[in-house]
Amino acid sequence: MRLIGQRLRIIRYSKDLSVSEVAIQTSINEKAIKQIESGYILPDFFTMTKFSQCYKTPLKELIPEKKIHSKIIWQNIGTILFSLLTLITITFSSFDISTILFPLLTFELIYNNYKIHQVLNSMKIVDPNINFLEKWMPTRLMKVLAYIFIISYVVLVIFNIIKYFMQFPILTSICLISYAILIYIFIKNKNQRYGINP
């Protein structure tokens, strides 16, 4: 933690920027920047991306590449496992709090993954999962499997929404409207937080 903070402070000094200037450019408050530089807060991937853009320094110089790859691997594995858990839960459980919350949490994980991949592509950092899979299967087959997973996930979610709508029409309608509002607010806030365009 201290190593990343020290590195950020050294780069900031070398760029002759004050904490307040960095705060304005990154939309991170001054107190958080000082805590990050002191090693009290470990910044997340997107905060580091903002520092990278502000200092015009490649992300690889701010975070060791092994840590970037490790973060991506665990993020992808977590997203896939949680998506499967969500499908099992909404398919086989009754209409309860888990069937309301799990899809929202899955959406957040998938959206985070999407944004991470956008950042990686813009910085020409190779996704280690894709690199690993390309050794074992052709790229086209990998894309086909990914599309099959996404389409089957969407179809099952829609099927379950219809099933719940037939059983609990008013409650399901309220949930769907709430989802739409929450997802809109979530995407708007996340894009501001990430500091990158959707």
Please, are residues 98 and 89 in contact by the beta-carbon 8 Å criterion?
A: yes
- CA 12/CA 8 separation, integer angstroms: 6
Q: Rounded to whole angstroms, what are the CA distances from 38 to 32, 67, 115?
A: 10, 20, 27
Instruction: Identify whether the C-beta of residue 79 lies closer than 8 Å to the C-beta of residue 113.
Output: yes
Which pLDDT does position 165 carry in this prediction?
Answer: 80
Encode burial over 19-35: b for 16+ CB neighbours within 10 A, e otherwise.
Answer: beebbeebebeeebbee
pTM for the predicted model, two decimal places: 0.60
Asked if 50 contacts 26 with a C-beta cutoff of 8 angstroms, the reply is yes
Residue-level pLDDT at 96: 67
* pLDDT at residue 70, rounded to an integer: 77
Given a cut of 50, the residues of the chain with pLDDT beneath it are: 1, 193-198
pLDDT at residue 112 in the model? 77
Angle value at C-alpha 114, between 11 and 141, nearest 5 degrees: 125
